[in-house]
Amino acid sequence: MWLPLSTSLSWSLLVATTHASFISCDRSEASLHIFDVPSWLSLNFSCLGSPLPYTILPAPGKGLGVFAPRSLIPGDIIMREPPILVINPPPMQAGKGYPRSEIDSRVRIAFEALSSSEQDEVLSLTYYNPPSQKVVDPLNSIFRSNAYNTGSRVGLFPKIARINHSCRPNTSYYWNERLGKRMVYATRHIEEGEELSVSYIPLLLAHADRQKRLDAYGFTCTCEACSATKHKKTSDQRRTRIGQLFPDLTARLTLEVPTSVAANKSAHRMAEQSIELMQLVEEEQLADYYAQVYRSVAVSLARLQQWDSASIWSSKSYDIFKMADEQSRETKEMEKLTRIFVANWNEDVDKQTEQRQSQRGR
């Protein structure tokens, strides 16, 4: 795949994603219509068991958790859930955040508009209240413990709320404004029976700082990243370095070709740092950041007119953004960039071919 490609084959590099749900049976949550008929009437015998790509079960030491009833591949959609309860938050108060009493009032009004079965579903969710705070109304504690930012609003998603935290999660999620749903999808291969996880906190923090953030949720994290005592110091160093590089490189990304010796030297240094960032993120298995760091590598190499490598990393970024949402601004941007990089790559190959033919003719 590292050899120069023709224009048509180069485009196949762009559109061939890892989301291969069609291979056996439709794995997406949206395709449940195939299970509306008895299995003996269906021609599809390859997908047995639960039609949903998740199941909610007791999780040792965590209450309930969400598990994979079958193996999942990167890009598999696990949940598409609209908010059962959503509010428009009041204006934030400087240095204080949202006024708590106003939030509580709006949550109660939205809750009262729900059906009795929906209210029961909301009240079945777990929550944490610091010992120093008296629980006046469990509803408000449930909302504060489980709600997500939902565009310009704040919403509660009862099924997604059952997914437990990990500092090295195997799924990612985002709010799809177009569909009005929060989407959860696999970011790596997930084995049958494996617990699904998301992150409740920023991940570019050392272990001790992550745990301080998690104290607000009332638990001590025992995920793979936090329990690996032998490698904890190395992991902390990597995450700290990622936290330094990521915002700096993102702010300085540009496609402007350097025109001076100093600018060219700076561009090479930036490319080196982008590659360092990518390697650190992969070593930490922080899949939430893959698409962004691959984009950084692609743009940095494109500045140096290294079109072959830029095309490959741009395509990798495009693939991951597309897994999340093929209509997103980021996906469309990476599609456009990959087209440009591949075209320049092919142009370079054509020039090299002409030069070799010219040399043979002498």
The predicted-structure confidence for 291-348, as pLDDT tens digits, reads as follows 999 999 999 999 999 999 999 999 999 999 998 899 999 999 999 999 999 999 999 9
DSSP line for 245-281 = HHHHHHHH---PPP-SHHHHHHHHHHHHHHHHHHHHH
The token pair at 71 is 């193996």
Task: Name the β-bridge partners of 171.
Answer: 186
Tell which residue, 132, 90, 139, has the closest CA to residue 110. 139
Contact 203, 286 (CB under 8 A): yes
Per-residue pLDDT of the chain (362 residues; tens, 9 = 90+): 332 333 333 333 333 333 333 333 444 444 433 334 443 334 444 445 567 899 999 999 899 999 999 999 999 999 999 999 999 999 888 877 788 889 999 999 999 999 999 999 999 999 998 887 777 789 999 999 999 999 999 999 999 999 999 999 999 999 999 999 999 999 999 999 999 999 999 999 999 999 999 999 999 999 999 998 788 999 999 999 999 999 999 999 999 999 999 999 999 999 999 999 999 999 999 999 999 999 999 999 999 999 999 999 999 999 999 988 999 999 999 999 999 999 999 999 988 888 888 777 66
pLDDT of residue 50: 60
- Which one, of 333, 79, 352, 322, lies nearest residue 198 by Cα? 79
Residue 262, amino acid: A
Q: What residues form DSSP beta bridges with 122? A: none
If you ran DSSP here, which 8-state letter would residue 90 be given?
P
Domains defined along the chain, listed by start: 7-19+229-360 (no CATH), 24-227 (2.170.270.10)
Global pTM reads: 0.80
Q: d(Cα 123, Cα 119) in Å, to the nearest integer?
A: 6
- Residue 174 has a pLDDT of 93
Q: Beta partners for 186? A: 171
Q: Is 49 left (phi over 0), alpha (psi -120 to 50) or beta?
A: left
Of 75, 76, 79, the C-alpha closest to 66 is: 79
pLDDT of residue 169: 97
d(CA 149, CA 168): 21
- Burial of 47 per CB tally in 10 Å (0-12, 13-18, 19+): middle
Question: 308: how many CB neighbours lie within 10 A of its CB?
Answer: 18
Residue 182 DSSP SS3: strand
pLDDT tens for 205-222 read: 999 999 999 999 999 999
Question: H-type helices in 66-206, by residue range?
Answer: 100-112, 116-123, 138-146
Query: Residue 44: what pLDDT?
Result: 43
